[in-house]
Amino acid sequence: MFKLTSLNLNGIRSATTKGVEAWIAATQPDCICVQEIKAQAPDMTGRFESLAGLTGHFQFAEKKGYSGVGIYTRHEPSDVVIGLGSPEFDAEGRYVELRFDTPSHKRSIISSYFPSGSSGEERQQAKFRFLALMHPHLMALKTQRDFILCGDINIAHKEADLKNWKGNQKNSGFLPEERAWMTQLLADDAATGGLVDVYRRLQPDTTDACYTWWSNRGQAYAKNVGWRLDYHLATPALAATARSEAIYKDEKFSDHAPITIGYDFSL
């Protein structure tokens, strides 16, 4: 089994003080995709280049204490792709892709952190620009290789994916345009969709159990007033190998919970 975890750290320094490294050592994923590192290269040197024996590959944001993504892996990639080729979003540290190519297959693991639009209209428009960039990128990549994209997508796709869906229909993360983007991405049409929401393939009907993020306001975590914002999005061939899923909530390393899926393939 290939064990793949995704976790928005909400700061790598913060998450490690809360025990995430010991948890990684105990659970032993093959790869863990992380988002919101909130650190730059000098902050990582001598401390965070590897975690629990896994080697890290990163894209950092230019702005200090902001965004940043990475993948920690126990397997040596055949190639590392840093960024999307977009000056705007590469400056924000939002995309790392590790390629594991052999003569018989081409496979990628991607860690991506989609923008949040919750701070205002300016950032919501940036989010829409990112979605407009990411869709054709993923469609083109799908014609070349199999992949699993792990990340904080910052979109709850359906009503079952957040507690208070009725009150959030005009809020970033559950806007009709964002949800339509996800619907297109996951549609059967191979030209404009064809990706698989792997968690929903395994757990099509969960509601309260599916949440991966809780606001720090009020008693959201205690009352499980959450959202499902963290995904594994895979090409059909790899999605079909998914066998198990777990959202870990026994410890709180971040305002997000790690989501781990076991796939029946090996690199």
Question: What tokens appear for 227 in the block?
Answer: 């959202």
> Terminal CA-to-CA distance of the chain, rounded, Å?
10
Length reported for the chain: 267
Contact partners, residue 265, CB within 8 Å, separation at least 6: 2, 238, 241
> What Rg value do the Cα atoms of the chain yield, rounded?
17
Spatial separation of the C-alpha atoms in residues 31 and 128, rounded to whole Å: 29
Q: Which of 30, 152, 161, 197 is catalytic?
A: 152
Burial state string for 225-259 with b = 16 or more CB within 10 A and e = fewer than 16 = bbbbbbbbbbbeebbebbeebebbeeeebbbbbbb
Spatial separation of the C-alpha atoms in residues 70 and 82, rounded to whole Å: 10
| List of E strands, 67-116 | 69-73, 79-82, 95-101, 106-113
Reply yes or no on whether 152 is catalytic.
yes
Indicate the Cα dihedral angle 185, 190, 195, 196, nearest 10°.
110
What residues are annotated to the active site? 152
